Amino acid sequence: MDRFFKKVVSFFLFSIIFIYNLSSTSMSANLSKKIGVGIGYPYFSIKYNFSSKIASEIRYATGEGINVYAGRFYWNFFQLRKLNAFTGIEGGYIDFDTLDTEGTGYEGSIFIGGEYFINPKFSFGLDIGPVYISVDTAELGKEFNVGGIEWVSNLCLNYYFDFRKKPTSRH
């Protein structure tokens, strides 16, 4: 019984500290006019926030002979101090040249995720969603088209540049 009580108290204290930390400063509240540079595995991205609710992003992902050039549209539907929840759509072009085959294709996705701001310039992001992937290739004189849905998650670190005009003081 004593161990159970310690776990409950520890969980309760951790929850209070976590909630206080989320509510202590407002970092995600105004993303408007900020440009974010993101590094994920295995991609690089540039994101522009048109407003605190709407953003778009271009991405380049690569690995093992596969390249994906994608565009994303975000809707930030919930913001609480350091936390920004979003959903969106993605579309992209795929080209690949592996040891056995080469070809091209496309991908499309819907996703949901969130961003946690470490400070006003840095955030961690995580999203997940189903992705439809379709690729075409030709081998031994025959054309092949393969498509299917896969679940994909993305984890990244973002750095934001703030291009909003700073208020000037008048004396």
Whole-number pLDDT of residue 30:
78
Coil, helix or strand for 10?
A: helix
In the chain, where are the structural domains located? 2-162
**The model's pTM:** 0.78
Query: What tens digit of pLDDT does each residue of 21-65 get?
Result: 544 455 665 788 899 999 998 899 999 999 999 999 999 999 999
- Rounded to a whole number of angstroms, the distance between the first and last alpha carbons of the chain is 66
Whole-number pLDDT of residue 133:
97
CATH architecture of 2-162: Beta Barrel (2.40)
pLDDT exceeds 80 at position 164: no
Find the farthest-apart pair of alpha carbons in the chain and give their distance in angstroms, rounded: 78
DSSP assignment letter at 13: H
Query: What tens digit of pLDDT does each residue of 58-108 get?
Result: 999 999 999 999 999 999 999 998 999 999 999 999 999 998 889 999 999
Q: Cα(40)–Cα(164) distance, rounded to whole angstroms?
A: 26
